[in-house]
Amino acid sequence: MSQLVPLASGQMLYRFRNRKRWCEFLDFLRQLRRRHAGKLCVICDNFSPHKKAEVTAWCERNNVELVFTPSNASWLNWIECEFAALRYFTLNGSDSPSHTAQEKTIGGYIRWHNKQALPKTNFAIGSKIRKPNYLPKAA
Domain count, the chain: 1
Could you tell me if residue 50 is inside a domain? yes
Q: Which residues of 11-50 are buried (b: 16+ CB within 10 A; e: fewer)?
A: bbbbeeeeeeebeebbebbeebeeeeeeebebbbeeeebb
Could you tell me if residue 88 is inside a domain? yes
Could you tell me if residue 19 is inside a domain? yes
Could you tell me if residue 68 is inside a domain? yes
pLDDT tens-digit map of 22-81:
999 999 999 989 988 888 888 888 889 999 999 999 999 999 999 888 877 776 777 777
- pTM beyond cutoff 0.75: no
The residue range of the domain holding 50 is 2-130
**Residue 39: CATH number of its domain:** 3.30.420.10
Could you tell me if residue 137 is inside a domain? no
Could you tell me if residue 66 is inside a domain? yes
pLDDT tens-digit map of 65-119:
998 888 777 767 777 778 888 888 888 888 888 888 999 999 999 999 999 988 8
